[in-house]
Structure 1
Amino acid sequence: MTKETASTEAGWNFDNSYARLPELFFSSQGPTPVRAPKLIILNESLASSLGLNTQALRSEDGVSAFAGNRIPEGASPLAQAYAGHQFGHFNMLGDGRALLLGEQITPEGERVDIQLKGSGRTPYSRGGDGRAALGPMLREYIISEAMHALGIATTRSLAVVTTGESVIRETDLPGAILTRVAASHLRVGTFQYAANWGTAEELRALADYAIKRHYPDIENSENRYLSLLQEVIRRQAELISKWQLVGFIHGVMNTDNMTISGETIDYGPCAFMDTYDPETVFSSIDIQGRYAYGNQPYIGGWNLARFAEALLPLLHDDEKQAIELAQNELSTFSKLYYHNWLAGMRAKLGISNAEEQDEALIEDLLRMMRNYRADYTNTFRALTFDKPEDTPMNGTPEFAQWHEQWQARLGRQKESKAAAQQLMRSSNPAVIPRNHRVEEALEAAVNDGDYSVMHRLLEVLSKPYEHSPEQDEYCTLPAESNRPYRTYCGT
């Protein structure tokens, strides 16, 4: 079977619109071949939706493409340039260990990026080896697929291959490459890069490209760049509210990790919260708690302000008026976020209409959950099935009073009790990627070559709102530990 035949059979249907942007935004280069690629996992349902042939992807040629040993027909590999505020400090960045193969045009005519992560050094590697270890790549696969199943906008994972080579971090680790699928890899940091190192024409070209790719409905707006800012604010307000509603902590909300499309991207030191506490931080490098769970909405607003700064030359010829336009739009973010979050919290409690007292009802519950160190996911699961005895607050006068107020609130809406419970079932996941379960799966895979633990976990996580008895064991909490759970970037 020839390479061209294999490519055709795989179903690759590449276009490369990003490569038609000014050369400032990328460096063309191919991936660095690896010694002995082996397919570890293939996302067959995602592959099919992309118009790809799973049998061909599993072939030797298919695996070679995932490893970067063979370039699929029509691909035009490149490393993207961008900048970013990392923990508040501005840096020149770029794809230091990733390459965009190109954009797959799906059978429905949608355009998605196909990126290899861990594919070798690029001009933006800054001293790094351009490689990735197996554990972090499997972590991204697990968490991103769980986020997709939870109904949260996210990049997705198509495949993970091992390379047959080691990468050196604190120790020798098995190397791997992840194939990531994204609406695009345009970031706030891409615009910061254009604003700092590009011309006004190059910044405009990037903005026009983002509009055409993600927001074509605003192309004919009176001020389409202001409309672009509005749309990105709107999508990020929705995205971050959904993170908060399921207890997801991104861990590294740098501006280079905020997409223009509104997808969650870069699953480095991310994790899901067990015990409810707004100050929860898992990332080993977030010493000051900048990206703690409770700070995520504020950081979202801060990142959007950096996006607005980059757009200022396009918003108005007069800088003062451009700043005023930007500030007016930025002021809407917190309101949009809170509106989305409040609506989501009402749904988690089975409330289908709005009353002024709802905010106090919700805040009182969260305060008790924090005081009694209640598990975030399991508390809402217990309320869904009216099992208050499954919460640590049960038996206390304040919780009894709250429960009575909540039941009275449900009684004041026209929807039935059954309808309220159905709303809660569809708003409160039974399962999340519990940190100890993720670690269990990664340890079995990396240390023992046993991928069955991960496959079982992925199957359970694919139906988070099913609330089936088979999920019960994945709802249990980890054993008490004196050591806080820590996550690492994996870079």
Structure 2
Amino acid sequence: MTKKIGWNFDNSYTQLPDVFYTLQKPKPVRAPKMAVFNTSLAERLGLDPDALQSENGVEQLAGNQIPDGASPLSQAYAGHQFGHFTMLGDGRAVLLGEQITPQGDRMDIQFKGPGRTPYSRGGDGRAALGPMLREYIISEAMHALGIPTTRSLAVVETGEAVYRETELPGAILTRVASSHLRVGTFQYAAGRDEIENLRALADYAIHRHYPEMEAQENKYVSFLQAVIDRQASLIAKWQLVGFIHGVMNTDNMTISGETIDYGPCAFMDTYDPATVFSSIDRQGRYAYGNQPYIGVWNLARFAESLLPLLHENMDEALEMANEALSSFAKLFQKNWHEGMKAKLGLLNEEPQDESLIGDLLTMMEKYHADYTNTFRALTLYKPEDTVLHEKDEFKQWYERWQERLGRQNEPRESSQQLMQQSNPAVIPRNHRVEEALDAAVEKGDYSVMEKLLKVLSDPYAHSTEQKEYCTVPDQTGKPYRTFCGT
């Protein structure tokens, strides 16, 4: 008897006009084998972990069997990629369906790498094992850091090769998201110049993510503002932990405010706003310091798509859009400033806080200090653990900071607790991620990845077990480069 997995599909996306998707089944694979599985996420989704890891479950997570109630499809969307507009779509992804969890949440279950779709644009629709494991690691680390994100349920090896610059083992990732609605989805709708389809998409997004706005006088303006609010909060959180997305195209910005698409992403070691890891970002468009500016640029494209819905008079619509967009900088700065204050244990507001934060970052950049470890050292009150320690200007800054903490009514323990909750001891260091991927892909050894995932699952613990994962990589002289995996 086959054990029941617990799928509970209700596929609302298929109720949209069919221009937004193509019904598409995954292409079967030769020899599926479970590589890594997320037990806690499966349970949260209302799924039976043992059943999903059985032979029948693996067949389903490989796309060889379609679960009852699923309605597999590939989504259509467009996007600005490095500033250039193009028609896109799920070229190597199939949305299996929408799982209704025991808590009543609606979650997309999507396969990455299940074969060609009508949007593949000449690609094979498959994915290599390494990039899928990378997305699993980084997305789960982001979740543990408290950053809104898509998550990874499983990676299944396909037993088939994919061909990029060389032959690589293939895999399928099961991605879980609040939805896969993107800025690019709205650009696609607006580009077709069919206002009723655009309205249907906007109404669907509002009902799914912002139902409290449905009764408002101009729900589309409120919708635009809500997406701006969430993205301002999200990008501030990226900046606060040194995360660099690497490919902030408009098709990679969600309406839900979740981080999506972990292709050439990485975490910054040495603090430098100009840091770029992606091999294809030769101009530094998506550098760490540029992410807030690209965020509002993407949101401007979203606002353009919504103009026909904001007001029947285009001048009025433009004024509404610009007013909403003008709020981004203030919202981002507020979120970032509050986050930086927390990283320094500041429980109230003083006029000089901005310079206290700015002076520290200036020193960190000047002396090539490690971003995460500098704040970790401050959290533990161990300034000697940072390269700044012997610098006179840092000694003066440290004295200013201690005086500032001393002017608070709350005890020092409260400040340190706030810092511990705001400064991760560990992040997915690039060299550690590569070490885990090499062991898994080249040797079939998943123990390195499992240990890394365990350490990353509680980044604010500041435990002794995490200490070895705090070390920075050896300086090889060569810049670290990431690749999109397609």
Structure 1 and Structure 2 fold alike (TM over 0.5) = yes
The 3-state SS of whatever aligns with 1:483 is: coil
Q: Distance in 2 between matches of 1:61 and 1:202?
A: 39
- 1:35 aligns to what? 30
For the Cα contact (< 8 Å) 1:24–1:198, is it kept in 2? no
Question: Under a length normalisation based on structure 1, what TM-score does the superposition of the two structures give?
Answer: 0.98
Task: Determine the structure 2 residue equivalent to 1:446.
Answer: 441
Please name the residue that 1:118 is paired with: 113
Query: CA shift at 1:415, angstroms?
Result: 1.2
Structure 2: tracts of 5 or more residues without a match: none
2:432 alignment counterpart: 437
For residues 235 and 94 of structure 1, the distance between their equivalents in structure 2, rounded to whole angstroms, comes to: 24
Q: Which residue of 2 aligns with 1:412?
A: 407
- Whole-Å Cα distance in 2 between the matches of residues 486 and 414 of structure 1? 46
CA contact (8 A) 1:14 1:105 kept: yes
Partner of 2:225: 230
Counterpart CA distance in 2 for 1:400 and 1:62 is 58
5+ long unaligned stretches in structure 1: none
- Aligned residue among 143, 155, 158 for 1:148: 143
Distance (whole Å) between structure 2 residues aligned to residue 414 and residue 222 of structure 1: 45
Q: Which residue of 2 aligns with 1:103?
A: 98
Question: How far apart are residue 333 of structure 1 and its match?
Answer: 0.3
Which of 51, 73, 80 is residue 46 of structure 2 equivalent to? Answer: 51
Distance 2:419 2:469 in 1: 19
**Aligned ranges for residues 19-418 of structure 1 at < 5 Å?**
19-418=14-413
Output the CA distance in 1 between the equivalents of 2:182 and 2:390: 48
Please give the secondary structure, in 1, of the residue aligned with 2:422. Answer: coil
CA positional deviation for 1:29: 1.3
Using the TM superposition, give the Cα deviation of residue 394 of structure 1 relative to its aligned residue in structure 2, in angstroms. Answer: 1.0
Q: Residues 170-200 of structure 1, C-alpha deviation per residue, up to 9 Å, x if partnerless?
A: 1000000000000000000000000001510
Distance 1:142 1:94 in 2: 25
Q: TM-score, normalised by structure 2?
A: 0.99
Q: Which residue of 1 aligns with 2:483?
A: 488
Percent of pairs with identical residues: 73
- Give the C-alpha shift of residue 61 in structure 1: 1.1
Q: CA deviation at 1:442?
A: 0.1
Which string of whole-angstrom CA distances, capped at 9 and with x for unpartnered residues, describes residues 433-462 of structure 1?
A: 000000000000000000000000000000
Matched, 1:467 2:467: no
Give 1:459's aligned amino acid.
Answer: K
User: Distance between the aligned counterparts of 1:134 and 1:415, measured in 2?
Assistant: 50
Segments ≥4 residues shifted beyond 6 Å: none
Does the Cα contact within 8 Å between 1:380 and 1:428 map onto a contact in 2?
yes
Return the alpha-carbon distance in structure 2 between the equivalents of residues 258 and 452 of structure 1: 33
* Mapped contact 1:189–1:255 kept (Cα < 8 A): yes
Residue 355 of structure 1: CA displacement? 1.1
Report Cα offsets for 1:192-241 as digits up to 9, x if no partner: 00000151000000000000000001110110000000100000000000
CA distance in 1, matches of 2:193, 2:418: 49
What amino acid does structure 1 have at the position aligned with 2:94? L
The offset of 1:413, in angstroms, is 1.2
Q: How big is the shift at 1:411?
A: 1.0
Alignment partner of 1:14: what SS?
A: coil
For residues 365 and 189 of structure 1, the distance between their equivalents in structure 2, rounded to whole angstroms, comes to: 38
* Structure 2 match to 1:479: 474
1:106-155 residue CA offsets vs partner (Å, 9 max, x unmatched): 00111000000000000000000000000000000000000000000000
Contact 1:104–1:111 (CA under 8 A) maintained in structure 2: yes
* Aligned-partner Cα distance in 1 for 2:218–2:410: 43
Question: 1:259, CA displacement in angstroms?
Answer: 0.1
1:317-340 deviation per Cα after TM superposition (whole angstroms, max 9, x unaligned): 000000000000000001000000
Per-residue displacement from partner, 1:265-310 (whole Å, max 9, x unpaired)?
0000000000000000000000000000000000000000000000
Map of 2:9 onto structure 1: 14
> Alpha-carbon deviation of 1:417?
0.7
What RMSD over aligned residues (CA atoms) do the two structures have, in Å?
Answer: 0.6
> How many pairs are equivalent?
486
Q: Find the aligned partners of 1:185 and 1:356 in 2 and give their Cα distance.
A: 41
